[in-house]
Amino acid sequence: MINLHNQTNDLLTESTSNTLHNIETILVIDDSPTNLQVLHATLENAGYEVIVEMDGNSGIEQVKNNPPDLILLDVMMPGIDGFETCRRLQANPSTQEIPIIFITALSDSVEKVKGLSLGAVDYITKPFNQKEVLARIKLHLKLRQLKLELDEQKQQLEQRVKERTAELSQALEELKKTQLQLVHTEKISFLGQLVTGVAHEVNNPVGFISTNLYHADHYIQDLINLVKLYQKKFPTPGYEIEDNIKAMDLEHVLQDLPKVISSMKLGTERIQGIMQSLRNFSRVDGEQKKAVDIHEGLETSLMILQHRFKALPKRPTINVIKEYGNLPKIKCYPVQLNQVFMNLISNAIDAIEEPIKDIDAFSTASRRFGLIRIRTTIDKEQVTIQISDNGMGISESVQSQIFQPFFTTKPEGKGSGLGLSISNQIITEKHGGTLQCISSVGNGTEFVIQIPLKS
Protein backbone atom coordinates (compact mmCIF):
# COMPACT_ATOMS: atom_id res chain seq x y z
CA MET A 1 0.00 0.00 0.00
CA ILE A 2 1.35 3.42 -0.95
CA ASN A 3 1.30 5.94 1.93
CA LEU A 4 -0.35 8.99 0.41
CA HIS A 5 0.49 11.17 3.44
CA ASN A 6 4.00 11.69 2.08
CA GLN A 7 2.90 12.93 -1.36
CA THR A 8 3.55 16.56 -2.15
CA ASN A 9 0.71 19.07 -1.80
CA ASP A 10 1.31 20.60 -5.23
CA LEU A 11 -0.53 17.60 -6.74
CA LEU A 12 -3.66 18.70 -4.87
CA THR A 13 -3.72 22.31 -6.04
CA GLU A 14 -5.83 21.68 -9.14
CA SER A 15 -8.35 19.58 -7.20
CA THR A 16 -8.88 22.20 -4.51
CA SER A 17 -9.17 25.23 -6.76
CA ASN A 18 -12.80 24.52 -7.74
CA THR A 19 -14.03 23.53 -4.27
CA LEU A 20 -13.37 26.69 -2.28
CA HIS A 21 -16.91 27.95 -2.61
CA ASN A 22 -18.74 24.59 -2.75
CA ILE A 23 -17.23 21.87 -0.59
CA GLU A 24 -18.22 18.46 -1.93
CA THR A 25 -18.79 15.49 0.36
CA ILE A 26 -17.33 12.05 -0.24
CA LEU A 27 -18.39 8.98 1.71
CA VAL A 28 -15.75 6.23 2.01
CA ILE A 29 -17.04 2.76 2.96
CA ASP A 30 -14.16 0.37 3.71
CA ASP A 31 -13.49 -2.14 6.49
CA SER A 32 -9.76 -1.37 6.47
CA PRO A 33 -8.75 1.33 9.00
CA THR A 34 -5.55 1.90 7.07
CA ASN A 35 -7.38 2.54 3.80
CA LEU A 36 -9.85 4.82 5.56
CA GLN A 37 -7.03 6.79 7.16
CA VAL A 38 -5.15 7.21 3.90
CA LEU A 39 -8.20 8.15 1.82
CA HIS A 40 -9.52 10.49 4.52
CA ALA A 41 -6.25 12.41 4.68
CA THR A 42 -5.82 12.54 0.91
CA LEU A 43 -9.35 13.70 0.16
CA GLU A 44 -9.43 16.18 3.03
CA ASN A 45 -6.16 17.72 1.84
CA ALA A 46 -7.74 18.00 -1.60
CA GLY A 47 -10.50 20.14 -0.15
CA TYR A 48 -13.28 17.58 0.15
CA GLU A 49 -15.43 16.90 3.17
CA VAL A 50 -14.92 13.23 4.06
CA ILE A 51 -17.23 10.81 5.90
CA VAL A 52 -16.13 7.24 6.65
CA GLU A 53 -18.01 4.03 7.44
CA MET A 54 -16.64 0.50 7.93
CA ASP A 55 -19.52 -1.71 6.71
CA GLY A 56 -22.26 -1.72 4.12
CA ASN A 57 -25.26 -1.36 6.46
CA SER A 58 -23.74 1.67 8.24
CA GLY A 59 -22.85 3.17 4.87
CA ILE A 60 -26.42 2.81 3.60
CA GLU A 61 -27.80 4.50 6.71
CA GLN A 62 -25.25 7.29 6.38
CA VAL A 63 -26.28 7.87 2.76
CA LYS A 64 -29.95 8.06 3.75
CA ASN A 65 -29.30 10.53 6.59
CA ASN A 66 -26.58 12.62 4.98
CA PRO A 67 -26.43 12.09 1.20
CA PRO A 68 -22.87 12.65 -0.12
CA ASP A 69 -21.83 13.84 -3.58
CA LEU A 70 -19.86 10.65 -4.29
CA ILE A 71 -19.25 7.24 -2.66
CA LEU A 72 -16.00 5.26 -2.58
CA LEU A 73 -17.08 1.67 -1.86
CA ASP A 74 -14.87 -1.30 -1.04
CA VAL A 75 -15.95 -4.54 -2.75
CA MET A 76 -14.76 -7.06 -0.16
CA MET A 77 -16.33 -6.38 3.26
CA PRO A 78 -17.80 -8.54 6.04
CA GLY A 79 -21.60 -8.70 6.22
CA ILE A 80 -23.01 -7.35 3.01
CA ASP A 81 -20.28 -6.84 0.44
CA GLY A 82 -19.82 -3.87 -1.83
CA PHE A 83 -21.91 -5.38 -4.64
CA GLU A 84 -24.95 -5.83 -2.39
CA THR A 85 -24.45 -2.39 -0.86
CA CYS A 86 -24.36 -0.87 -4.36
CA ARG A 87 -27.48 -2.83 -5.41
CA ARG A 88 -29.44 -1.54 -2.41
CA LEU A 89 -28.35 2.07 -2.94
CA GLN A 90 -29.28 1.86 -6.62
CA ALA A 91 -32.69 0.36 -5.77
CA ASN A 92 -33.59 3.39 -3.66
CA PRO A 93 -34.85 6.32 -5.81
CA SER A 94 -33.52 8.83 -3.27
CA THR A 95 -29.93 7.49 -3.46
CA GLN A 96 -29.63 5.97 -6.94
CA GLU A 97 -28.28 9.16 -8.53
CA ILE A 98 -25.20 9.32 -6.27
CA PRO A 99 -22.13 8.10 -8.22
CA ILE A 100 -20.39 5.02 -6.74
CA ILE A 101 -16.72 4.18 -7.40
CA PHE A 102 -15.64 0.72 -6.32
CA ILE A 103 -12.36 0.23 -4.43
CA THR A 104 -10.94 -3.23 -5.10
CA ALA A 105 -7.79 -5.29 -5.42
CA LEU A 106 -9.62 -7.58 -7.88
CA SER A 107 -8.42 -7.46 -11.43
CA ASP A 108 -10.96 -9.94 -12.81
CA SER A 109 -12.90 -8.24 -15.61
CA VAL A 110 -15.99 -10.31 -14.77
CA GLU A 111 -16.11 -8.77 -11.30
CA LYS A 112 -15.68 -5.30 -12.77
CA VAL A 113 -18.47 -5.87 -15.25
CA LYS A 114 -20.70 -7.10 -12.40
CA GLY A 115 -20.08 -3.92 -10.42
CA LEU A 116 -20.73 -1.66 -13.40
CA SER A 117 -23.90 -3.56 -14.25
CA LEU A 118 -25.14 -2.91 -10.69
CA GLY A 119 -24.84 0.84 -11.26
CA ALA A 120 -21.29 1.77 -10.28
CA VAL A 121 -19.63 4.42 -12.43
CA ASP A 122 -15.98 3.41 -12.08
CA TYR A 123 -13.28 1.33 -10.32
CA ILE A 124 -10.19 2.31 -8.31
CA THR A 125 -7.72 -0.50 -7.83
CA LYS A 126 -5.48 -1.14 -4.88
CA PRO A 127 -2.74 -0.13 -4.27
CA PHE A 128 -3.89 3.47 -4.80
CA ASN A 129 -2.33 5.88 -7.23
CA GLN A 130 -2.88 9.40 -5.92
CA LYS A 131 -3.22 11.05 -9.31
CA GLU A 132 -5.63 8.37 -10.51
CA VAL A 133 -7.78 8.58 -7.36
CA LEU A 134 -8.13 12.36 -7.49
CA ALA A 135 -8.57 12.42 -11.28
CA ARG A 136 -11.37 9.84 -11.22
CA ILE A 137 -13.10 11.53 -8.30
CA LYS A 138 -12.84 14.93 -9.93
CA LEU A 139 -14.14 13.55 -13.23
CA HIS A 140 -17.21 11.88 -11.73
CA LEU A 141 -18.00 14.83 -9.48
CA LYS A 142 -17.85 17.04 -12.54
CA LEU A 143 -20.09 14.64 -14.45
CA ARG A 144 -22.52 14.61 -11.55
CA GLN A 145 -22.52 18.41 -11.41
CA LEU A 146 -23.15 18.60 -15.14
CA LYS A 147 -25.99 16.11 -14.79
CA LEU A 148 -27.53 18.13 -11.95
CA GLU A 149 -27.24 21.30 -14.01
CA LEU A 150 -28.75 19.50 -17.01
CA ASP A 151 -31.62 18.24 -14.84
CA GLU A 152 -32.17 21.76 -13.51
CA GLN A 153 -32.16 23.20 -17.03
CA LYS A 154 -34.56 20.45 -18.09
CA GLN A 155 -36.90 21.33 -15.23
CA GLN A 156 -36.66 25.01 -16.09
CA LEU A 157 -37.38 24.21 -19.74
CA GLU A 158 -40.33 22.02 -18.75
CA GLN A 159 -41.60 24.82 -16.51
CA ARG A 160 -41.28 27.34 -19.34
CA VAL A 161 -43.04 24.95 -21.70
CA LYS A 162 -45.76 24.45 -19.08
CA GLU A 163 -46.13 28.21 -18.58
CA ARG A 164 -46.16 28.82 -22.33
CA THR A 165 -48.73 26.07 -22.81
CA ALA A 166 -50.87 27.66 -20.09
CA GLU A 167 -50.55 31.04 -21.82
CA LEU A 168 -51.55 29.52 -25.15
CA SER A 169 -54.47 27.71 -23.53
CA GLN A 170 -55.58 30.97 -21.93
CA ALA A 171 -55.25 32.73 -25.27
CA LEU A 172 -57.31 29.98 -26.90
CA GLU A 173 -60.00 30.34 -24.25
CA GLU A 174 -60.04 34.10 -24.77
CA LEU A 175 -60.31 33.55 -28.52
CA LYS A 176 -63.23 31.19 -27.99
CA LYS A 177 -64.93 33.73 -25.73
CA THR A 178 -64.37 36.45 -28.32
CA GLN A 179 -65.79 34.25 -31.06
CA LEU A 180 -68.70 33.39 -28.80
CA GLN A 181 -69.37 37.05 -28.05
CA LEU A 182 -69.21 37.92 -31.73
CA VAL A 183 -71.66 35.14 -32.58
CA HIS A 184 -73.90 36.23 -29.73
CA THR A 185 -73.80 39.91 -30.73
CA GLU A 186 -74.42 39.11 -34.38
CA LYS A 187 -77.26 36.78 -33.46
CA ILE A 188 -78.96 39.37 -31.25
CA SER A 189 -78.45 42.09 -33.87
CA PHE A 190 -79.91 39.93 -36.64
CA LEU A 191 -82.80 38.84 -34.44
CA GLY A 192 -83.55 42.43 -33.53
CA GLN A 193 -83.58 43.52 -37.15
CA LEU A 194 -85.69 40.54 -38.18
CA VAL A 195 -88.26 40.99 -35.41
CA THR A 196 -88.46 44.75 -36.02
CA GLY A 197 -89.13 44.16 -39.70
CA VAL A 198 -91.68 41.41 -39.08
CA ALA A 199 -93.41 43.42 -36.36
CA HIS A 200 -93.68 46.42 -38.67
CA GLU A 201 -95.15 44.34 -41.49
CA VAL A 202 -97.60 42.57 -39.17
CA ASN A 203 -98.64 45.69 -37.27
CA ASN A 204 -99.76 47.51 -40.41
CA PRO A 205 -102.53 45.06 -41.41
CA VAL A 206 -103.36 44.32 -37.77
CA GLY A 207 -103.75 48.03 -37.11
CA PHE A 208 -105.96 48.33 -40.20
CA ILE A 209 -108.14 45.43 -38.99
CA SER A 210 -108.29 46.81 -35.46
CA THR A 211 -109.37 50.25 -36.67
CA ASN A 212 -112.06 48.84 -38.95
CA LEU A 213 -113.30 46.51 -36.21
CA TYR A 214 -113.91 49.58 -34.06
CA HIS A 215 -116.15 51.08 -36.74
CA ALA A 216 -117.73 47.71 -37.60
CA ASP A 217 -118.64 47.24 -33.95
CA HIS A 218 -120.50 50.55 -33.93
CA TYR A 219 -122.22 49.85 -37.27
CA ILE A 220 -123.34 46.41 -36.16
CA GLN A 221 -124.62 47.77 -32.88
CA ASP A 222 -126.63 50.41 -34.77
CA LEU A 223 -128.06 47.73 -37.06
CA ILE A 224 -129.01 45.54 -34.13
CA ASN A 225 -130.74 48.45 -32.48
CA LEU A 226 -132.57 49.18 -35.74
CA VAL A 227 -133.71 45.55 -36.06
CA LYS A 228 -134.98 45.56 -32.49
CA LEU A 229 -136.80 48.82 -33.15
CA TYR A 230 -138.46 47.30 -36.23
CA GLN A 231 -139.48 44.28 -34.16
CA LYS A 232 -141.02 46.62 -31.59
CA LYS A 233 -142.90 48.79 -34.09
CA PHE A 234 -143.89 45.98 -36.45
CA PRO A 235 -144.44 42.87 -34.31
CA THR A 236 -146.23 41.11 -37.25
CA PRO A 237 -144.06 41.69 -40.34
CA GLY A 238 -145.74 38.97 -42.39
CA TYR A 239 -145.12 35.31 -43.21
CA GLU A 240 -142.25 35.86 -45.64
CA ILE A 241 -140.18 37.91 -43.18
CA GLU A 242 -141.06 35.61 -40.27
CA ASP A 243 -139.90 32.58 -42.27
CA ASN A 244 -136.64 34.35 -43.05
CA ILE A 245 -136.18 35.27 -39.35
CA LYS A 246 -136.62 31.64 -38.35
CA ALA A 247 -134.30 30.39 -41.11
CA MET A 248 -131.44 32.69 -40.12
CA ASP A 249 -132.12 32.34 -36.37
CA LEU A 250 -132.18 36.09 -35.92
CA GLU A 251 -132.13 35.96 -32.13
CA HIS A 252 -128.92 33.93 -32.15
CA VAL A 253 -127.33 36.27 -34.69
CA LEU A 254 -128.25 39.32 -32.63
CA GLN A 255 -126.67 37.74 -29.52
CA ASP A 256 -123.61 36.16 -31.18
CA LEU A 257 -122.56 38.91 -33.61
CA PRO A 258 -121.24 41.26 -30.85
CA LYS A 259 -119.32 38.31 -29.37
CA VAL A 260 -117.72 37.60 -32.76
CA ILE A 261 -116.63 41.20 -33.08
CA SER A 262 -115.31 41.16 -29.50
CA SER A 263 -113.32 37.97 -30.21
CA MET A 264 -111.83 39.52 -33.32
CA LYS A 265 -110.82 42.61 -31.35
CA LEU A 266 -109.26 40.37 -28.68
CA GLY A 267 -107.36 38.50 -31.40
CA THR A 268 -105.90 41.68 -32.86
CA GLU A 269 -104.91 42.88 -29.39
CA ARG A 270 -103.23 39.50 -28.81
CA ILE A 271 -101.25 39.81 -32.04
CA GLN A 272 -100.20 43.35 -31.12
CA GLY A 273 -99.15 42.10 -27.68
CA ILE A 274 -97.08 39.31 -29.19
CA MET A 275 -95.35 41.75 -31.53
CA GLN A 276 -94.59 44.07 -28.64
CA SER A 277 -93.21 41.16 -26.60
CA LEU A 278 -90.97 40.16 -29.50
CA ARG A 279 -89.67 43.72 -29.83
CA ASN A 280 -89.01 43.87 -26.09
CA PHE A 281 -87.29 40.49 -26.18
CA SER A 282 -84.89 41.41 -28.96
CA ARG A 283 -84.30 45.12 -28.50
CA VAL A 284 -80.70 46.32 -28.11
CA ASP A 285 -79.79 46.79 -24.46
CA GLY A 286 -76.89 49.16 -24.64
CA GLU A 287 -74.34 49.19 -21.86
CA GLN A 288 -76.63 50.28 -19.05
CA LYS A 289 -78.45 47.95 -16.73
CA LYS A 290 -82.18 48.46 -16.32
CA ALA A 291 -84.53 47.70 -13.45
CA VAL A 292 -87.07 45.26 -14.90
CA ASP A 293 -89.62 42.69 -13.80
CA ILE A 294 -87.91 39.31 -14.11
CA HIS A 295 -91.30 37.61 -14.41
CA GLU A 296 -92.14 39.59 -17.54
CA GLY A 297 -89.01 38.20 -19.19
CA LEU A 298 -89.98 34.66 -18.19
CA GLU A 299 -93.52 35.16 -19.46
CA THR A 300 -92.24 36.55 -22.77
CA SER A 301 -89.98 33.51 -23.23
CA LEU A 302 -92.85 31.16 -22.42
CA MET A 303 -95.11 32.99 -24.84
CA ILE A 304 -92.57 32.74 -27.68
CA LEU A 305 -92.09 29.02 -27.00
CA GLN A 306 -95.79 28.37 -26.45
CA HIS A 307 -96.15 26.39 -29.67
CA ARG A 308 -93.62 23.84 -28.41
CA PHE A 309 -95.69 23.01 -25.32
CA LYS A 310 -98.59 21.68 -27.38
CA ALA A 311 -99.23 17.94 -27.66
CA LEU A 312 -97.48 15.99 -30.41
CA PRO A 313 -98.23 12.53 -31.83
CA LYS A 314 -95.45 11.01 -29.72
CA ARG A 315 -95.72 13.36 -26.73
CA PRO A 316 -98.59 14.81 -24.70
CA THR A 317 -98.81 18.46 -23.73
CA ILE A 318 -95.92 19.84 -21.69
CA ASN A 319 -97.22 21.41 -18.48
CA VAL A 320 -95.55 24.49 -17.03
CA ILE A 321 -95.76 25.11 -13.28
CA LYS A 322 -94.89 28.67 -12.23
CA GLU A 323 -93.96 29.37 -8.62
CA TYR A 324 -93.14 33.06 -8.72
CA GLY A 325 -91.97 34.83 -5.59
CA ASN A 326 -92.68 38.44 -4.70
CA LEU A 327 -89.79 40.06 -6.58
CA PRO A 328 -89.09 43.77 -6.94
CA LYS A 329 -87.66 45.07 -10.19
CA ILE A 330 -84.12 43.77 -10.62
CA LYS A 331 -81.28 45.70 -12.27
CA CYS A 332 -79.98 43.60 -15.14
CA TYR A 333 -79.44 43.44 -18.89
CA PRO A 334 -82.99 42.36 -19.76
CA VAL A 335 -82.48 41.26 -23.37
CA GLN A 336 -79.50 39.11 -22.50
CA LEU A 337 -81.27 37.68 -19.47
CA ASN A 338 -84.29 36.90 -21.65
CA GLN A 339 -82.00 34.97 -23.95
CA VAL A 340 -80.81 32.89 -20.98
CA PHE A 341 -84.42 32.10 -20.09
CA MET A 342 -85.14 31.17 -23.71
CA ASN A 343 -82.10 28.86 -23.90
CA LEU A 344 -82.85 27.08 -20.61
CA ILE A 345 -86.57 26.61 -21.27
CA SER A 346 -85.86 25.46 -24.83
CA ASN A 347 -83.31 22.94 -23.51
CA ALA A 348 -85.88 21.70 -20.98
CA ILE A 349 -88.32 21.04 -23.81
CA ASP A 350 -85.58 19.23 -25.77
CA ALA A 351 -84.81 17.09 -22.71
CA ILE A 352 -88.46 16.08 -22.36
CA GLU A 353 -88.67 15.24 -26.06
CA GLU A 354 -85.44 13.21 -25.97
CA PRO A 355 -86.18 9.55 -26.82
CA ILE A 356 -85.76 6.97 -24.07
CA LYS A 357 -82.46 5.12 -24.44
CA ASP A 358 -82.39 3.18 -21.18
CA ILE A 359 -85.74 1.88 -19.98
CA ASP A 360 -84.24 0.58 -16.73
CA ALA A 361 -82.73 3.97 -15.88
CA PHE A 362 -85.92 5.88 -16.52
CA SER A 363 -89.35 4.26 -16.34
CA THR A 364 -91.91 4.92 -19.04
CA ALA A 365 -94.47 5.82 -16.38
CA SER A 366 -92.59 9.02 -15.58
CA ARG A 367 -92.60 9.90 -19.29
CA ARG A 368 -96.40 10.05 -19.62
CA PHE A 369 -96.33 13.83 -19.42
CA GLY A 370 -93.75 16.58 -19.65
CA LEU A 371 -93.31 18.97 -16.78
CA ILE A 372 -91.31 22.20 -16.55
CA ARG A 373 -91.18 24.01 -13.24
CA ILE A 374 -90.06 27.65 -12.91
CA ARG A 375 -89.47 29.04 -9.44
CA THR A 376 -88.22 32.47 -8.33
CA THR A 377 -87.09 33.52 -4.85
CA ILE A 378 -85.16 36.39 -3.31
CA ASP A 379 -83.12 37.00 -0.19
CA LYS A 380 -81.03 39.89 1.08
CA GLU A 381 -78.16 39.20 -1.29
CA GLN A 382 -79.50 37.68 -4.50
CA VAL A 383 -82.42 36.62 -6.66
CA THR A 384 -82.67 32.95 -7.62
CA ILE A 385 -84.39 31.53 -10.70
CA GLN A 386 -84.78 27.74 -10.92
CA ILE A 387 -85.83 26.08 -14.18
CA SER A 388 -86.28 22.31 -13.95
CA ASP A 389 -87.65 19.53 -16.15
CA ASN A 390 -88.54 15.86 -15.77
CA GLY A 391 -86.48 14.75 -18.76
CA MET A 392 -83.87 12.02 -18.91
CA GLY A 393 -81.24 13.95 -16.93
CA ILE A 394 -77.56 14.54 -17.65
CA SER A 395 -74.61 12.29 -16.77
CA GLU A 396 -71.69 13.62 -14.71
CA SER A 397 -69.30 13.38 -17.68
CA VAL A 398 -71.59 15.55 -19.81
CA GLN A 399 -72.28 18.01 -16.97
CA SER A 400 -68.56 18.82 -16.76
CA GLN A 401 -68.61 20.02 -20.38
CA ILE A 402 -72.04 21.58 -20.97
CA PHE A 403 -70.80 25.16 -20.49
CA GLN A 404 -67.89 24.72 -22.92
CA PRO A 405 -68.26 26.61 -26.22
CA PHE A 406 -69.47 24.48 -29.14
CA PHE A 407 -70.07 21.39 -26.97
CA THR A 408 -73.35 19.66 -27.74
CA THR A 409 -74.88 16.21 -27.39
CA LYS A 410 -77.54 16.95 -30.01
CA PRO A 411 -77.35 15.47 -33.52
CA GLU A 412 -75.66 17.50 -36.24
CA GLY A 413 -77.88 20.34 -37.34
CA LYS A 414 -79.94 20.26 -34.13
CA GLY A 415 -77.74 22.44 -31.95
CA SER A 416 -74.71 24.72 -32.21
CA GLY A 417 -73.33 24.10 -28.71
CA LEU A 418 -73.47 27.84 -27.97
CA GLY A 419 -76.68 28.24 -25.95
CA LEU A 420 -75.46 27.16 -22.52
CA SER A 421 -72.00 28.65 -23.03
CA ILE A 422 -73.51 32.03 -23.92
CA SER A 423 -75.97 31.74 -21.03
CA ASN A 424 -73.15 31.01 -18.57
CA GLN A 425 -71.14 33.95 -19.88
CA ILE A 426 -74.14 36.30 -19.59
CA ILE A 427 -74.86 35.26 -15.99
CA THR A 428 -71.28 35.07 -14.69
CA GLU A 429 -69.51 37.85 -16.58
CA LYS A 430 -72.28 40.35 -17.33
CA HIS A 431 -74.28 39.94 -14.12
CA GLY A 432 -71.62 38.67 -11.68
CA GLY A 433 -73.82 35.70 -10.78
CA THR A 434 -73.71 31.92 -11.07
CA LEU A 435 -75.35 29.35 -13.33
CA GLN A 436 -75.41 25.84 -11.88
CA CYS A 437 -76.62 22.56 -13.36
CA ILE A 438 -78.03 19.94 -10.97
CA SER A 439 -78.86 16.65 -12.64
CA SER A 440 -78.52 12.88 -12.63
CA VAL A 441 -79.58 10.29 -15.17
CA GLY A 442 -83.22 9.39 -14.64
CA ASN A 443 -84.06 12.31 -12.34
CA GLY A 444 -84.41 15.27 -14.67
CA THR A 445 -82.37 18.46 -14.72
CA GLU A 446 -82.46 21.77 -12.87
CA PHE A 447 -80.61 24.94 -13.81
CA VAL A 448 -80.19 27.44 -10.98
CA ILE A 449 -79.51 31.11 -11.80
CA GLN A 450 -78.36 33.36 -8.98
CA ILE A 451 -77.92 37.08 -9.61
CA PRO A 452 -76.57 39.37 -6.86
CA LEU A 453 -78.75 42.35 -6.01
CA LYS A 454 -75.72 44.59 -5.70
CA SER A 455 -73.26 44.41 -8.57
**pLDDT tens track of the chain, all 455 residues?**
333 333 333 433 343 344 334 789 999 999 888 888 888 888 988 889 999 999 999 999 999 999 999 999 988 888 899 899 999 999 999 888 899 998 887 666 777 788 888 888 888 888 878 888 888 889 888 988 888 888 889 889 989 998 888 888 888 877 777 766 666 665 665 566 566 666 667 777 887 788 888 888 888 888 888 988 888 888 888 888 888 888 888 888 888 888 888 888 888 877 777 676 666 665 555 457 889 899 988 998 888 888 888 888 777 889 999 999 999 999 998 888 888 998 899 889 988 887 644 444 444 444 457 899 999 999 989 999 999 999 888 888 888 788 887 667 665 555 556 678 888 888 998 899 999 999 988 889 999 999 998 86
Residue 411: per-residue pLDDT: 59
DSSP conformation class of 386: E
Identify the H or E element spanning 225: helix 130-233
Contacts 24+ apart (CB under 8 A), 273-281: 274/303, 275/198, 275/199, 275/202, 275/203, 275/206, 276/199, 277/303, 277/304, 278/195, 278/198, 278/199, 278/304, 279/195, 279/196, 279/199, 280/334, 281/195, 281/335, 281/338, 281/342
Residue 448: per-residue pLDDT: 96
**Alpha-carbon distance values, 197 to 165, 192, 228, 282 (Å):** 47, 8, 46, 12
Residue 325: per-residue pLDDT: 94
Residues forming a β-bridge with 445: 389, 439
Identify the H or E element spanning 177: helix 130-233
Neighbouring C-beta atoms of residue 423, cutoff 10 Å: 24
User: Do 39 and 45 meet the contact criterion of CB atoms below 8 Å apart?
Assistant: no
Identify the H or E element spanning 320: strand 318-323
Identify the H or E element spanning 156: helix 130-233
Q: At 96, is the secondary structure helix, strand, or coil?
A: coil
Identify the H or E element spanning 338: helix 334-353
Residue 189: per-residue pLDDT: 58
Residue 180: per-residue pLDDT: 65
Q: Please state, in angstroms and rounded to a whole number, the distance separating the CA atoms of residues 231 and 238.
A: 12
